[in-house]
Chain A
Amino acid sequence: MTGKFISIEGIAKRYPGAGGSTTAVFENLWLSMARGEFCCVIGHSGCGKTTVLNILAGLDAPSEGAVIVDGQAISGTSLDRAVIFQSHALLPWRTVLGNVGYAVSSKWRSWDRAKVRAHAQTFIDLVGLTGSEHKRPSELSGGMKQRVGIARALSITPKMMLMDEPFSALDALTRGTLQDEVRRICLETGQTAFMITHDVDEAIYLADKIFLMTNGPGAVLAEVVENPLPRDRGRTDLHRHPLYYALRNHIIDFLVTRSKSFTAEKPDHDPRNVPVVHIGKPGLTIASGSDEQRQTWIPGTSPGLTA
């Protein structure tokens, strides 16, 4: 869990604005993630979260800066980085098996039909869709469609998963189950995951690190919040953890007030050394962004979890 598996280095995204000017969605954005880490990005609509994710995926190119994955600058998309789209983006003319199989046969071009099928089936089973292989997306519920999207992303055994508000269109119950599944799968397979979300509780449940972005245009990555909750946390008893409310309040507070005023209040904000926030640690909040100073969670030492 150390080292920089993914490193976003000083990227900017600018669009031509009205009257020949350019508007920058963000400038000089730095961000890094370790292998196996689950990171969530929270920020208001339009601050550039999707843009960052698309750049990470290689679907979009930054106007400036670079993205380094596993020591190599990326150019374009890659089968190493799977994307789970907000709108599931299943091909409606293909069945569940066809959609997952399309990804599998794209990664392993030489595999024969039977092998592709067997491999796809494994991942359909993994997301709990056994029995629905031959249904078309139009015959599936929203939750099932998103499961297919997850199966498709996982089936190519990527090095990292990129998720753009994958559960925002689902009802609370389905969202809960899918969060459980994604968390289980990511922990089991040691996936590195980058997820955009609007849901603070979702971030607290899933993420090891939470990136807080200020409002755009000219958005900045304001803080990296380390999740103080134990790794074996359950979705239903999150709120019993003594640090839960402190964490939640910190994020909500940021979203409600500080996301607007951050840039004005912190003119000396260094985008290369974004403050890391450790909730509940005495002396608190700000440490520098470097890896050595990051506090990692050691199971069993959590204050008050046994309560």
Chain B
Amino acid sequence: MNASLRLRAGLVSIVLLAAFLGIWHLATRSTGTVATMSPEYAKLMGLTATQDKSAMPGPLDVGAKLWEHLRRPFYDNGPNDKGLGIQLGYSIARVGTGYFLAVLVAIPLGFLIGMSPLLSKALDPFIQVLKPISPLAWMPLALYTIKDSSISAIFVIFICSIWPMLLNTVFGVASVRKEWINVARTLEVGTFRRAFTVILPAAAPTILTGMRISIGIAWLVIVAAEMLVGGTGIGYFVWNEWNNLSITNVIIAILLIGVVGMLLDQILARFTRMVTFPE
């Protein structure tokens, strides 16, 4: 029953993909009609003008180019021509560093705030103001103070991934069931042991959910941040290829951004499943 549902869903997915690729192909193919124009102009404009070829690449162009990229993901021909693997690597490293630093700050801090009603109330106004700030708004300030574009990008990732983790940790810790806390209290379990044996496991699913939201946001933000700071990374690649008017490469980059984002999300989803307990 379940297997057959999955099979049918898979089939529908494939049909939808095929339909999408088909329409894409039809919409972008060259019709072969030759417009009357001066030969110089025709030469300048290439197939777009002469055979009414759409400026938009078709799925076959993208596929061929993608294959080319996948065969040589790590080549490095100087600052403006690096393999996609290298560019993605830079982005993932920045996201990883900023995110990891955010985890180190958000989870202990969230624990403190969640366990202390005083801190919770005292810090609430700051969090409320800081949380809605677009992470990119920090960029000029970061560039001015840090004076290093790559570290500034990491800082922006740090700032954008800290809030969901912090708020979820606070919420998870503060809403641990009273009866579980009471169990620990009647067993005279000390604060420290209580934090690790009761509060952490009880809040873990909520914390991990926050971490999952954060990694998603971090991956969204890194593309924009790298477009701003330039140099390396998949965001810079997209911007650079747009300046080169290579729509094919832009499409490939979009596709890869999606795939990497999905993988990051799946990793966190797996961790979340590991700490989730049935009640």
Interface residues of A (CB under 8 A from B): 57-59, 76-79, 81-83, 85, 87, 89, 91-93, 102-103, 106-107, 136-138, 156
Contacts and interface: CB of A to CB of B under 8 A. Distances in A.
B186 interface: yes
Contacts of B201: 91, 93
- Mostly, the B contact residues are helix
B279 A81 contact: no
Q: Which of B179, B186, B197, B279 has the largest count of A CB atoms less than 10 A from its CB?
A: B186
A155 B278 CA distance: 25
A79 B187 contact: yes
B183 A136 contact: no
B152 to A, nearest CB: 40
Contact of B277 (A79, A81, A103, A136): A136
Given A78-B188, A79-B188, A89 B183 contact: yes
B198 interface: yes
Contacts of A156: 187
B75 to A, nearest CB: 48
B187 A59 contact: no
B189 interface: yes
A303 B265 CA distance: 75
- Mostly, the A contact residues are loop
Interface of B: 177, 179-180, 182-183, 185-189, 197-198, 201-202, 277-279
Contacts, number: 54
Nearest to B279: A92
B278 A136 contact: yes
B198 A57 contact: no
A156 B189 CA distance: 13
B187 A81 contact: no
Contacts of A57: 186
Nearest to A87: B179
Given A91-B198, A91-B201, A93-B277, A103 B182 contact: no
A77 B187 CA distance: 8
Contact of A89 (B180, B188, B197, B277): B180
16 contacts: A58-B186, A59-B186, A76-B185, A77-B187, A77-B188, A79-B187, A83-B186, A87-B179, A91-B180, A91-B198, A91-B201, A92-B277, A93-B202, A93-B277, A106-B189, A138-B278
A82 B180 CA distance: 14
Nearest to A158: B186
B278 A82 contact: no
A209 B257 CA distance: 72
Contact of B185 (A77, A91, A93): A77
Nearest to B177: A89
A102 B197 contact: yes
Q: Which of A82, A92, A106 has the largest count of B CB atoms less than 10 A from its CB?
A: A106
Contacts of B177: 89
Contacts of B277: 92-93, 136, 138
A97 B278 CA distance: 17
Contact of A103 (B180, B187, B278): B187
A137 B180 CA distance: 13
Given A77-B188, A78-B188, A79-B187, A85 B279 contact: no
Contacts of A93: 201-202, 277
Nearest to B205: A93
Nearest to B278: A138
Given A93-B277, A136-B278, A85 B188 contact: no
Given A85-B179, A85-B183, 7 more contacts: A59-B185, A79-B187, A85-B182, A93-B202, A106-B188, A138-B279, A156-B187
A47 B278 CA distance: 34
A87 B183 CA distance: 11
Contacts of B197: 102
Nearest to A91: B180
A82 B179 CA distance: 14
Contacts of B189: 106
B183 A91 contact: yes
Contact of A83 (B182, B188, B198, B278): B182
A119 to B, nearest CB: 14
B185 to A, nearest CB: 5
The 3 closest A-B pairs by CB, nearest first: A89-B179, A106-B187, A138-B278
Contacts of B185: 58-59, 76-77
A86 to B, nearest CB: 9
Contacts of A79: 186-188
A136 B201 CA distance: 14
Q: Which of A82, A91, A92, A102 has the largest count of B CB atoms less than 10 A from its CB?
A: A91
